[in-house]
Amino acid sequence: MAYTESEISAIVAAQRKFFRTGTTLPIRWRIQQLKKLKTAVIAHETEMEDALAEDLGRSRVEAYLCDVGPIIVEINEMIRGLRRWSRPERHFSGLMCFPSIITKVYKMPYGVSLVISPFNFPMLLTIGVVAAAMCGGNTAVIKASSKSAASTAFLKKFFAEVFPPEYITLIDGGHDVADMCLAQRFDKIFYTGSPSVGKHVLAEAAKNLTPVALELGGETGNWCVVRKDADLKDTARKIAFFKLCNAGQICININQIAVAEEIAVPFIEELKQAFIKQIGEQPVSNPEYPKLITDSAYDKCAKLADEYRERIVFGGTGDKASRHFAPTMIYPVDINEHIVQHELFCPLLPIVPFKDAEVDKLMDTIAEREHPLAMYLFTKDMKWANRIMQTQQYGGGCINEVCIHMMVKGVPFNGTGHSGMGAYHGEWGFREFTHPQTVLKGRTTFNLPLREHPYGGKMEKTKLGILRKFEQ
């Protein structure tokens, strides 16, 4: 359906009217809605997996592992934790505020939120974020991706069946519809996608001073550093799994590998064997292997692969009709080449050799570029790894592992710099969709005139003396 600005404005106005009734404020009511959402997700699991297969070619296992299952885990955490998270903070008002004794800080919803979700994990990054908005007591207008058409069509029907439109509603369409949404006055915006569009969202939000959370991939991509003391078989196995997942279309996926030149050749051989073991000799024809989201995404990947054709050491083949492109290793690649200075979002995997003794020089070069969303280190040198993970700027990461940091309950998922701002998952999502509101409760008795005029005359010394005692 095509939307007009007036139609979108009417949707936002209806949600604002509903929010102002106070219906979304009670914690019990929010928990009821989250339970309703969870029940609906479980009931529609097969339909969700079918849509993901149509859009991205995902198998049922991968669809459940990466989209459906994490949604249920996330909602469960919110249901269990919401009462605790939402409890008002109690503070002693202090002697300066006498006779007031108690001041409370409430965690209040923003109001009407806008959630702009991407194509790569259309279920998780739509329903999961909307659940956080609901947890915080907000309403939500969703602008889902036009690229993942089957998933968006499912989500539109799904939300319409589960919730009234004045509470949760989904708007479909392209960039023009997104811009019409951004032209509205929302109370909170949550965007997941590319840094370039993130800048546009931030600029539009600034016109109304709307607070924004951005979950971005990072302009220069996520690094994986493999040192000479790494367990090569284990490292290759984990990297291959992750690069195959969603055909590399993951914001926290490995964009490029830096490998110590001392072990580069055996590492590449181990990685080849890991890919073959997991997806077979002909990944392009393997029905378990996901596809690229659009023809243009395929063409972009294939064109870049052709530019590096002479340095492809594994893969490099594709099928335009099915939009499958094999996992492709490119070696050697210089750290200053263009391919390792922007996010790829595809199965290409450039490999940069470095001298292990000069690893800190490598890390300095990485640190000078825009902050990535993720970082991965493979080494037995835990002292070095811990130092690097504490001094580099990135959203999250792993030592001797890939991606599963985002599966840990209770920890935030976030970026920094060009990889995003704000955080969500569990309590962090609740915090992202609420703001503090301080309320001091005054008293009508023992209300001494210490704060009031007159300040001069014979009371000056007495008042100053008492006030100074309050500060001690």
The residues assigned a catalytic role are 215, 251
Q: What is the DSSP letter of 95?
A: G
Q: Which two tokens stand for residue 94?
A: 């202090």
> Token pair of 60, please?
């049922």
Residues 445 and 427: their CA atoms lie apart, in Å, by 39
Of the candidates 326, 291, 300, 287, the residue with the CA atom closest to the CA atom of residue 150: 291
CB 59 within 8 A of CB 288: yes
**452's tokens:** 């009031």
Round to whole Å and give the CA distance between 391 and 20.
Answer: 45
C-alpha–C-alpha distance, residues 225 and 415, integer Å: 19
Annotate 291-346 with three-state secondary structure. CCCCHHHHHHHHHHHHHCHHHEEECCCEECCCCEECCEEECCCCCCCHHHCCCCCC
User: Would you state the structure tokens that stand for residue 259, as one six-digit string?
Assistant: 């490998």
- The residue among 224, 204, 229 whose CA lies nearest residue 214 is 204
d(CA 252, CA 373): 6
In Å, how far are 74, 180, 204 from 420, measured between CA atoms? 21, 23, 16
Q: Which of 113, 342, 89, 58 is nearest to 218 (CA)?
A: 342
Q: Give 392's DSSP letter.
A: S
Closest CA to 219 of 237, 189, 198: 198
